[in-house]
Structure 1
Amino acid sequence: MVDALHEIHRVLAPGGLLVDARPDSRVLGHAEHVTAGGHRSVGTIRTARAELGNDRASDRAITRVKRERLFRSRRKGRFWHRVPFDGLAALQEYLREHLRFEHRVRWTAGTATRRRIKDDRFTIRRAVRYELLERVSGQT
């Protein structure tokens, strides 16, 4: 990723902006049941172990180019992103095929509750962290 960031620095105009936005593996994802009153968490979802290593490598790459003074941080934060599903089976199928998440939910709702709501709508809510990076002029 460091090479890619150096290339971005090369082609980006001085003062140009780069947005680094990635799922935040430091925060658990949530399986949510959609109700008339909103969303209710019914379980948590962890990031797959392999992706934790990839995230750390990406963090180190961003830190390195900032230390090299190729970019400076303008703003950073976190927002929440929801992925909707028509039912519990669709959510579980998505997790089985998704490489970023562990393939199983750690349920906080009991088996009877899950059986009762299985055909309702669900979402996965996960944190996305971002950093707005400005290209520092004078470097090539």
Structure 2
Amino acid sequence: MPAPSPAPQAPSRGAAPLLPLAPSEPVRFDAAVLARFCRREGANAETAIGDLLVQIEERLVLAAWQGGQGEWEGLGRSAGALERMGARIGMTTLVRAAAAVRDCLHGNDPVALPACAARLARLGEGGRLEHWRLERGEAPE
């Protein structure tokens, strides 16, 4: 793993350095949750996961639009739906990102909300869901 690049220095004297943002992150799954889902679904598991991922991808597109338009109530509903859908299959990255958006909305944090909404939107960019990674354990059987 390459060493992180040094943070650029703030222009004013005595100010803290600016930190670069991570433009992307892997979509991670909790293997145990995913395995339980697969056991419950049985022979239909592959189809059920595929259907759920399509719904997640569609909701991510909607959430990105809602965030860009300032549709905060709709974004809150989308984040809640994404959190629930992600939790069903152990999609930990999605659950955390959606929860952060909801926390910002419920905590009335207008400073953190744009960053959290952008993180959530990035998860749906450019087919990111195609790059699954299990968070721990082996792939479910």
TM-score scaled by structure 2? 0.26
Q: Which has the larger radius of gyration?
A: 1
Whichever structure has more strand as a proportion of its residues is 1
Whichever structure has more helix as a proportion of its residues is 2
TM-score scaled by structure 1? 0.26
Work out which structure has the larger RCO, using CA pairs closer than 8 Å and 6 or more positions apart in sequence: 1
